Amino acid sequence: MHQKTFKPKAYVKEGCPYSFKYLLFMTEAGLLDQVDVIRCDPASAKFDAIKEKLGKAAGRDATFPTVEIAPQRYLSDSDKLIGHYARAFDIDPAKLPTLSFYNETLFPQLAALHK
């Protein structure tokens, strides 16, 4: 019998600049295939149930992005997630030109609007 391997689940919120930042890092670093991306649409009837599930699992209000990095182990916050994957795969996020461009130009504006 083959043991099923765990694949992290990345919960990203549509329209969220923090979720986009995480996805941008994962894509540019070539790591997007390491996670199952679960798009969470705030207009969807399922959104509140997903937020409740993530909140219970994390022990606090759910934020996006949140990744189940190991069975029943959740990590939130785009910067923490980027740090986690950067360390695990020995990647320097500062050397990723598209992520750097986003962080230095678009992200501050989007984050201010997102508040």
Domains for the chain: give ranges and CATH numbers. 9-114 (3.40.30.10)
- pLDDT of 18-33, one tens digit each? 999 999 999 999 999 9
Instruction: Please say if the pLDDT value at position 2 is more than 60.
Output: no
Q: Given this model, what pLDDT does residue 1 score? A: 44
DSSP string spanning the chain? -PPPPP--EEEEETT-HHHHHHHHHHHHTT-GGGSEEEEE-TTSTTHHHHHHHHHHHHTS---SSEEEEETTEEEE-HHHHHHHHHHHTT--GGG-HHHHHIIIIIHHHHHHHH-
Least confident of 49-53, 96-100, 111-115: 111-115
- pLDDT of 53-85, one tens digit each? 999 998 889 999 999 999 999 999 999 999 999
